[in-house]
Structure 1
């Protein structure tokens, strides 16, 4: 079997014009260079070089062999360069999924900056509040909050998710303010989801955690529409604090149950595996981490 290292040494010897010149380029003793050429000739069963005290001469078969091998090595070096360039500069299509409100408020600006930095990358962004199976649907990166269902995925925390309870002044004037979590059972609650059935809201107190069953007349699987419904006086909503900061400051919504808070969750950037991670995926993850650490832009203090 031909040793490709010996072929490489042979090409370098011919290009340098001597064993000594090749040994300097290859950073190996000239005796090693000579031995590799001899082993290559023995394997091939032909003489490639005529040696003399002054210079080297290629045999006819040696010349043909050199020309073919040199072209092949150049092709390999070009292929290696392409791989290195692809690792240095991300390319290709990056498929991302994100909840609607997160994409509108944060992710869109990150995508704008990323595409400006890397012109050879294309992004396909699926904005949805449904659960997306990123393996089944060939998603490279997902943004999610809460508990991770699939332990085979890599989840990197990029910030907290803080929620508040709120309602419009019109609703409060009509139905009153709940003073404790159990009071919610007497109120219309706006449900984030596709069903009004079997809904509970969780609360953290100084001593423990409690769960309260809630009901209402409206369920919708879009947090943006939950917020709009709260503005329209349809009930009490549990929503991420950053989405309603301005509304609370303007008095368009009133914060409720301030002595109680839902558990603080986390927001994650999720991807299938650390191993063999495509360059565009790795660079985008680093891009997001740089923008969210040490403090995420939505990490507002209540």
Structure 2
């Protein structure tokens, strides 16, 4: 429990904040400066916390700093508790009070770096009292296991227990380089794809079919991938290098389509688009920081999403002239 008492078994919130800050900065002295207290006061707070818990939390030797096994076990719980309390405090503050605490955002590597990170940087600049973390990667984080507060998902949301807010629509195009097209077998109908090398945006289980949508509805077409990768930029590069036909996200390859490095194929057939969504656990929806960032994302996407991404106020967008065959 959190208390003002210093008797054994009672813990001060300020002491937990010190531990979390020291772990974040890797230094007790730096954490003292960040919290605006003297180093001696920080040392006393740490000793008070260790006394209350009956164990050592930090190894200190020759200027080195490291959490003990007990410290490592306590840290994530302390961080979550501090964040929850900060959210509770914030919920009763004035709406225009500065955002504080920590906001953890996860996103696919390429999309996150190209689209989400500029928006997150702008949000962080407007909220200097808020600690912002961005985790980029191809593996999905487990929101329900508290690995992040909010995640950007393209396509499937995941667990039905998550709350999802649609931000935009990502469009995909069937494409290849002019050099590949000039030397490859004719590609006049979807059935011709079986005779072509395929650059696949996935790894692991081999794809055997892709879905295309024509005037008469969707259709599954057999394919044989010869190059697979889970990074869309690498898929674009592979297609430009003539490795085969790719299903590529237009927002990532917009420059290549514009300058003719990639050519759209079978333009009368559409590749299914995918929703871009922000997802979070229901309990996290109470966070002022999360709600503020979500509103920031929605407004930014409404004002002008990345080329190739259809904002929610749009019904479609144009592909640069000369990209169709």
TM-score under structure 1 length normalisation: 0.68
> Among 120, 129, 137, which residue is 2:129 paired with?
120
Choose from 153, 162, 169 the match for 2:171.
Answer: 162
Structure 2, gaps ≥5 residues long: 1-87, 311-316, 320-325
Question: Matched residue of 1:284: which SS?
Answer: helix
Structure 1 unaligned regions, length at least 5: 1-78
Q: Which has the higher contact order (CA 8 A, sep 6+)?
A: 1
- Structure 1 runs (4+) greater than 6 angstroms displaced: 79-82
Tell me what 2:262 maps to: 253
1-side partners of 2:159 and 2:110: how far apart? 23
* Aligned counterpart, 1:96: 105
**What are the within-5 Å matches in structure 2 for residues 20-59 of structure 1?**
none
Could you tell me how far 1:148 is from its partner in structure 2? 2.2
Cα pair distance change 1:283/1:235, threshold 3 Å: same
For the Cα contact (< 8 Å) 2:157–2:279, is it kept in 1? no
Tell me whether 1:211 sits opposite 2:228 in the alignment: no
Q: Distance in 1 between matches of 2:241 and 2:89?
A: 61
Summarize deviations over 1:224-256 as a string: whole Å, max 9, x none: 111111111111111111222221221111111
SS at match of 2:286: coil
Q: Rg bigger for which structure?
A: 1
Aligned length: 224
Q: Secondary structure at the match of 1:217?
A: strand
Residue 259 of structure 1: CA displacement?
Answer: 0.8
1:136 match:
145
Structure 1 match to 2:36: none
Check conservation: 1:194, 1:220, Cα contact below 8 A. yes
Find the counterpart in structure 2 of residue 301 from structure 1: 318
* Structure 2 equivalent of residue 145 of structure 1: 154
Whole-angstrom distance in 1 between the partners of 2:282 and 2:297: 17
RMSD of aligned residue pairs (Cα, Å): 2.4
